[in-house]
Amino acid sequence: MFHFDEMDAQTLLLYFSLLILSLNFFFQSIKPKLSRLLQPSLETRVKAALLSRKEVVEFLDSSVVKQEDDEEEDEGDVSTISSSTFEFDPYMTSKAESVNKALDEAIPMGEPLKIHEAMRYAILAAGKRVRPILCLASCELVGGEENAAMPAACAVEMIHTMSLIKDDLPCMDNDDVRRGKPTTHKVYGEGVAILSGGALLSLAFEHMTTAEISSDRMVWSVRELARSIGTKGLVAGQAMDISSEGLDLNEVGLEHLEFIHVHKTAVLLETAAVLGAIIGGGSDEEIENVRKFARCIGLLFQVVDDILDETKSTAELGKTAGKDQIAGKLTYPKLLGLEKSKEFVKKLTRDARQHLQGFSSEKVAPLVALTDFIANRNK
Ligand code: IPE
Ligand code: IPE
Ligand code: MG
Ligand code: MG
Ligand code: MG
């Protein structure tokens, strides 16, 4: 018979360590479920939701529309806001060139050299510049000048680049390729990458304050930008994105996925457009319409990103393809399948255009074309 008082100290320690290890294993395995139970209900968290529950259910219940019907539907929709005479490619190229020049000037080399080198490496790489162009186009939509919105456009691109540097870190998505080049931490190491991300974030706010607008509109802009990237925006989305890895379809619904995508991506696109409209001198009503429009194209942007991850190659994307499935990310193709996700892209494109109805068709042409670009892009 085994007697406790006969056990020597070493055996006791061994049993104790085994007990701790088993308890640790048990708590680690129930931790994800426990933390989800303790979180506030999703309803209270999905504040920035785009779609009502009813719309989500209706969309899921609808059958996949055939290709021919889609095309007809699209043609009918285009007739409401005409962009047929607008030349988007030269517009996009010239805006991207102006943004690249402004970014180059906004981040000159200086001490600490490695940090500035890494900032410039990350930001001057081949990004599409969708957010700054959205900011400039929204400024012009409400009658403002491109120059006035350029500091805000650059600020948004600095913050976006910071979010990419962090998103690629080994503790986040662990990616080696970005904008067709090795990721910033691969070239400069994690310490410099994190610091250069922080420097881009702080420079963004400093740089935005160089815009020549009234102090009221500047304070408003700073508040919008700050709010969009913290726990009410990007950080909330990214936090939910990483804590949702590996969840299966029985554990989450579309509201959960929409929360992630709206926060991690849509809110910054929304803010880019809203800043443009604020700086351009837009009325409250104009700014709110621009906000609703941009929230739609923001979600659209991330749904397309999910689709591209599954359907394109690393060479085409300039970032690692097929990564979402390997990492067990929650994505639209995972929840809806590819066909239904593509249909959702069309629905969001139509919804976005609806919010531009209040503006003259000539003035909205760049934003309509930008929406189509976001929906149909290949990278
Ligand atoms: C990538 O954004 C990150 C997402 C929010 C999906 P972009 O596709 O705009 O990346 P760049 O700026 O063109 O590199
Ligand atoms: C990232 O989403 C959104 C950010 C806030 C950076 P993803 O993780 O899908 O972006 P990619 O695919 O790496 O560009
Ligand atoms: Mg990510
Ligand atoms: Mg990523
Ligand atoms: Mg992605």
pLDDT, tens digit (0-9, with 9 covering 90-100), for 222-264: 999 999 999 999 999 999 999 999 998 788 999 999 999 999 9
Of residues 215 and 85, which shows the higher confidence score?
Answer: 215
Ligand 2 within 6 A of CB of 307: no
Ligand 2 within 6 A of CB of 160: no
The runs of H, that is alpha helices, within the chain are: 9-38, 42-45, 53-61, 67-78, 88-106, 113-123, 130-141, 146-167, 184-188, 190-208, 215-229, 234-243, 254-261, 267-279, 284-311, 314-317, 323-327, 332-336, 338-354, 361-376
Pocket test for ligand 2, best of 305, 316, 330 (most atoms within 8 A of CB): 305
The pLDDT value given to residue 81: 53
Chosen CATH of 43-376 out of 1.10.10.10, 3.40.630.30, 1.10.150.120, 1.10.600.10: 1.10.600.10
- The yes-or-no verdict on residue 333 having pLDDT over 50 is yes
Quickly tell me which residue has 């139509």 as its tokens: 350
Ligand 2 within 6 A of CB of 331: no
Mean pLDDT of the chain: 89
Q: How confident is the model at residue 66 (pLDDT cuts 50, 70, 90)?
A: very low
pTM here is 0.85
Pocket test for ligand 2, best of 229, 231, 264 (most atoms within 8 A of CB): 264
Q: What's the rounded mean pLDDT across residues 298-324?
A: 98
Task: Determine the atom of ligand 2 nearest the C-alpha atom of 268.
Answer: 5
pLDDT, tens digit (0-9, with 9 covering 90-100), for 169-180: 999 999 999 999
* CA 277-283-286 angle, 5° bins: 65
Task: Determine the atom of ligand 2 nearest the C-alpha atom of 173.
Answer: 8
pLDDT, tens digit (0-9, with 9 covering 90-100), for 127-154: 999 999 999 999 999 999 999 999 999 9
- The yes-or-no verdict on residue 68 having pLDDT over 80 is no
- The yes-or-no verdict on residue 43 having pLDDT over 80 is no
Task: Determine the atom of ligand 1 nearest the C-alpha atom of 161.
Answer: 12
